[in-house]
Amino acid sequence: QDVLELIDGWVKEHLPSVGKRIDSYCHPYTMTEDSYFVMDKVADNVAVFSGGSGRAFKFGPLLGDCMASLLTGEAAPVDLA
């Protein structure tokens, strides 16, 4: 519970328009139904990534470049559509 309170406090301070958390769920294996990674920009200076499970580490440098391109507006090294 302490971790959720810390996260909630950070979100309230840095992303006040997001609202309150309605639920939480933790699972050690996160993968989307189609096995694609999920990355998107949620604010001007905040991007999120999920769906990596145990295989994202193989794509670490590429994922970092893609996430950076989301935030900087530069062209991504691969098609992110």
> In whole angstroms, what is the distance from residue 70 CA to residue 42 CA?
10
Concatenated DSSP letters of 27-58: -S----TT---EEEEEETTEEEEE--TTTGGG
Residue type, 21: R
The pLDDT tens digits for 45-75 are 888 988 887 788 888 899 999 999 989 999 9
The pLDDT tens digits for 24-35 are 877 767 778 888
Cβ contact 79:66 at 8 Å? no
User: Considering only CA atoms, which of 70, 4, 10 is closest in space to residue 37?
Assistant: 70
For residue 1, the model assigns a pLDDT of 65
Beta-bridge partners for 50: 38
